[in-house]
């Protein structure tokens, strides 16, 4: 097995056709077929099932493609580091938007100030998106949340902390005025979820808590992907919303916002997610250590 064979396998996987793949990578179809046959013989398995409309990857092929993409990403990184040796080391970190906060920005700044010059690239995304980027080799690690029952042998998870969540609203919101007789179904909600794909972070506890306090699919709702916008819609827009209590800690303390009684729930654990067996550079380990100390403090 070599990287050229893996690249050819991925080309077939992505195009779904030997003919298309051979044109894309510039070799004859018989040569491409031979490369795949050699891989199949080496692993004693079938990688693609042939049919009249093209080829379909087998389960073994799916597993090999995932690992092959990681190997090729590492190859690209090695080449980049060797050709740009005079430049700064690079770290690619994934971040769930719900973790954007003052303490995290201060932690990242502290790391930058304390370390040697480094090219730190932070990409935000929901847990599902971050896991996909990890699998593709685009991230060194992700800082996000996972529920207790999440299982995927491709990843390692180091939990660091949990957050308390509650439905909150401005102190003058009618949800707190029982005498007003307002119909809870008439309230406008902000929801931190803008994608069709269910995020592992979004547990049934979140949905159940919102339903208990009047939320239903027909409610007027603004769904956003930005944690900052979600916070602003609650604080400035007067909407109801489920949010991490530490994200609005000062507003809860000074009375600008209030928790809806009985709506508090514990959130899943937040921490570091890495691809199993992935090599970590010294700089990645140092960044994790700085974040870890900040969480412990």
Domain boundaries defined on the chain:
3-61, 88-161+269-296, 164-266
Find all residues with CB under 8 Å of 2, minimum gap 6, and list them: none
Q: Which two tokens stand for residue 71?
A: 């190997």
Residue 194 has pLDDT above 70, yes or no: no
Residues whose CB is less than 8 angstroms from the CB of residue 9 and which lie 6 or more positions away in sequence, other chains included: 35, 36, 39, 47, 61, 64, 65, 68
Asked: is 164-266 a CATH 3.40.50.1820 domain? The reply is no
How many Cβ atoms are within 10 Å of 285's Cβ, its own excluded?
A: 11
Q: How confident is the model at residue 195 (pLDDT cuts 50, 70, 90)?
A: low
Over residues 18-32, the mean pLDDT reads 85
> Is the pLDDT confidence value at 292 over 80?
yes
Core vs surface per residue 91-121: b (16+ CB within 10 A) or e: bbbbbbbbbbeeebeebbeebeeebeeeebe
- Best CA proximity match to 187, nearest among 219, 154, 231: 219
Which pLDDT score, from 0 to 100, does residue 200 have? 57
Mean pLDDT, the chain, rounded, equals: 85
pLDDT, average across residues 137-163: 87
Question: Per-residue pLDDT for 178 more than 60?
Answer: yes
pLDDT above 90: residue 145: no
Q: Are 169 and 175 in contact (CB under 8 A)?
A: yes
Going by CATH, does the domain composed of 88-161+269-296 fall within 2.160.20.70? no
According to the model, what pLDDT value does residue 139 have?
93
Distance CA 169, CA 260 (A): 7
Question: Is the fold of 3-61 the same as that of 88-161+269-296?
Answer: no
Asked if 141 and 289 count as a contact pair (C-beta separation under 8 A), the reply is no
CATH 3.50.50.60 holds for 3-61: no
Q: What own/partner pairs with CB < 8 Å and gap ≥ 24 does 47-52 have?
A: 47/9, 48/12
pLDDT bracket for residue 98 (50, 70, 90): confident
Instruction: Report the run of H or E that residue 230 belongs to, with start and end.
Output: helix 227-235
pLDDT at residue 188 in the model? 92
On the question of pLDDT at 198 being above 70, the answer is: no
Q: In angstroms, rounded to a whole number, what is the distance separating the alpha carbons of residues 186 and 177?
A: 14
CA distance 187 to 172: 13
More confident site: 195 or 229: 229
Residue 25 has pLDDT above 70, yes or no: yes
How many other CB atoms sit within 10 Å of the CB of residue 82? 8
């Amino acid at each position: 097995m070599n990287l050229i064979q893996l690249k050819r396998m991925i080309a077939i996987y992505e195009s779904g056709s030997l003919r298309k793949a051979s044109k894309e990578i510039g070799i004859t179809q018989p040569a491409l077929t031979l490369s795949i046959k050699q891989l199949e013989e080496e692993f004693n398995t079938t990688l693609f099932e042939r049919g009249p409309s093209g080829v379909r990857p087998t389960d073994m092929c799916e597993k090999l493609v995932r690992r092959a993409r990681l190997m090729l990403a590492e190859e690209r990184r090695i080449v980049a580091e060797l050709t740009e040796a005079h430049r700064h080391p690079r770290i690619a970190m994934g971040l769930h938007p719900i973790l954007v906060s003052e303490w995290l920005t201060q932690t990242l700044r502290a790391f930058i100030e304390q370390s040697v010059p480094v090219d730190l690239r932070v990409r935000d995304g929901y847990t599902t998106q971050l896991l996909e980027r990890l699998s593709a080799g685009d991230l060194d690690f992700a800082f996000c949340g996972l529920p207790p029952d999440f299982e995927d042998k491709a990843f390692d998870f180091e939990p660091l902390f949990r957050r308390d969540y509650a439905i909150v609203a401005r102190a003058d919101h009618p949800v707190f005025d029982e005498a007003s007789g307002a119909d809870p179904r008439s309230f406008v909600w902000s929801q931190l979820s803008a994608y069709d794909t269910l995020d592992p972070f979004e547990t049934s506890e979140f949905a159940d808590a919102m339903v208990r306090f009047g939320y239903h699919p027909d409610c007027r709702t603004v769904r956003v992907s930005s944690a900052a916008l979600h916070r602003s819609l609650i604080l400035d827009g007067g909407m109801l919303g489920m949010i991490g209590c530490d994200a609005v800690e000062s507003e809860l303390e000074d009375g600008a916002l209030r928790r809806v009684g009985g709506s508090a729930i514990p959130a899943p654990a937040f921490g570091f997610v890495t691809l199993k067996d992935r090599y970590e550079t010294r700089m990645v380990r140092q960044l994790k250590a700085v974040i870890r100390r900040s969480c412990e403090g």
